[in-house]
Chain A
Amino acid sequence: EAGVAQSPRYKIIEKRQSVAFWCNPISGHATLYWYQQILGQGPKLLIQFQNNGVVDDSQLPKDRFSAERLKGVDSTLKIQPAKLEDSAVYLCASGSAGTTYTGELFFGEGSRLTVL
């Protein structure tokens, strides 16, 4: 079974530029999460999707961050314009209805963003 795929693995941009991250969850997983992990901290939830609907985006800075999951499969997270404090690893995770009850989310390897 293929795992959660994320790209790019690394991205370096200057402040005020834009960036987009892509995530392809495990096939059949209805739930998809984007987390932001700043160095030395735990992952912070940005947005949760259930199929193509948003379940929770209360911590997403909507003035600069956007995310979509149009067909209920893969997802894109965009930052525009980027700020220095956006430097972090962006983790995508997915889970199925069954794993929601076991707590097992499957994580990708993350996309590391450096904003200069």
Chain B
Amino acid sequence: SQELEQSPQSLIVQEGKNLTINCTSSKTLYGLYWYKQKYGEGLIFLMMLQKGGEEKSHEKITAKLDEKKQQSSLHITASQPSHAGIYLCGADLGNDMRFGAGTRLTVKP
């Protein structure tokens, strides 16, 4: 979706390293969602952010939404091979859920 830009498109990191994925919208978001997809499978919900400045964590994954509610970052601490996959940001733009193009993460053992 051109409404949501994700960067980088792909990322290769060594196991144990930290990494950050970004998601940017030209519009103010009602809600920003992070999903993970493994090849050949459906999407798995990670977390949702609604309030400007909000931050949520789950295990080693932390997501933040900026004050203007137009940019979000997903940070993984001490990456593991299990973190590998495609990370997608999704946005509630009023009526439905739209997605960015995704960031493909590879974690090298």
Q: Which residues of A contact B (CB under 8 A)?
A: 4, 33, 35, 40-45, 48, 55-56, 91, 93, 102-110, 112
CB contact between B1 and one of A42, A56, A108 (< 8 Å): that residue: A42
Taking CB atoms, residues of chain A closer than 8 Å to B1 are: 42, 44
A-B contact pairs, 8 of them (CB 8 A): A4-B42, A45-B96, A48-B95, A91-B42, A93-B43, A107-B44, A109-B41, A110-B42
Interface size class of B (residues with CB under 8 A): 20 to 34
> How distant is B18 from chain A, measured CB to nearest CB, in Å?
24
Q: Are A103 and B48 in contact (CB under 8 A)?
A: yes
Taking CB atoms, residues of chain A closer than 8 Å to B102 are: 41-42
Q: Are A42 and B41 in contact (CB under 8 A)?
A: no
A55 CA / B97 CA spacing, docked (Å): 12
Within 8 A of A (CB), among B74-109: 88, 90, 92, 95-102
Taking CB atoms, residues of chain B closer than 8 Å to A105 are: 43, 45, 97
Within 8 A of A (CB), among B37-77: 40-45, 48
